[in-house]
Structure 1
Amino acid sequence: MAAKQTFEKAMQRLENIVQELETGDLPLEKAMEKFEEGVRLSRFCSQKLDETEQKITLLMQDEAGEIREKPFEAQ
């Protein structure tokens, strides 16, 4: 059974793929496979970020349904 993909795991794998491709040591066919995997991971991460942004927007709505932007204040 495959482990559930998480944003963090996808980003780590994507970073590894970039490092592998940057070395230039892979045969063309293998490099293409890595590139395709990287594109899939990039799309997955982008989708997760979009979903998270939508959830945050819902949480920021006030009683009237208005979204109020507030500056981030680190504690």
Structure 2
Amino acid sequence: MLPGMDEGNTAAGSAPDISDMSFEQALGALEQIVQQLERGDVPLDQSISLYERGEALRAACQQRLDAAQARIESIVTGADGRPASTRPFDTES
């Protein structure tokens, strides 16, 4: 659980700004939301708010993963250790 957040304090209005969170913090917050929704003990209105926040966190995490993958794809070093070319991230050496 994130500091300053308890189970009753996860509405989007009272939660930290996603843009200020690290990838790991955003992923942890998303995992917490999923756990709350899976328990099924959250009132409907709060469930909707949690779902909306979860979707925003998922999108932010995906954007950061896509950016990291693009950085990795852009850096392939040559024999001399200098960047030589680009290659897709999932292509084997």
Report the TM-score range of the alignment, normalised by the length of the smaller protein: 0.7 to 0.9
Tell me how many residue pairs correspond in the alignment: 69
What 5-or-longer segments of structure 1 have no aligned partner?
none
Does residue 67 of structure 1 match 2:87?
yes
- Closer, same or farther: CA 48–26 of 1 in aligned 2, 3 Å: same
What 5-or-longer segments of structure 2 have no aligned partner?
1-15, 78-82
CA distance in 2, matches of 1:13, 1:52: 20
Is the 2:26–2:61 contact (alpha carbons within 8 Å) kept by the matching residues of 1? yes
Matched with 1:13 is 29
CA distance in 2, matches of 1:8, 1:66: 27
Which aligned runs of 4 or more in structure 1 are off by greater than 6 angstroms? none
Structure number having the greater strand percentage = 2
TM (norm. structure 1) is 0.79
TM (norm. structure 2) is 0.65
Matched with 2:65 is 49
Shift of 1:5: 1.2
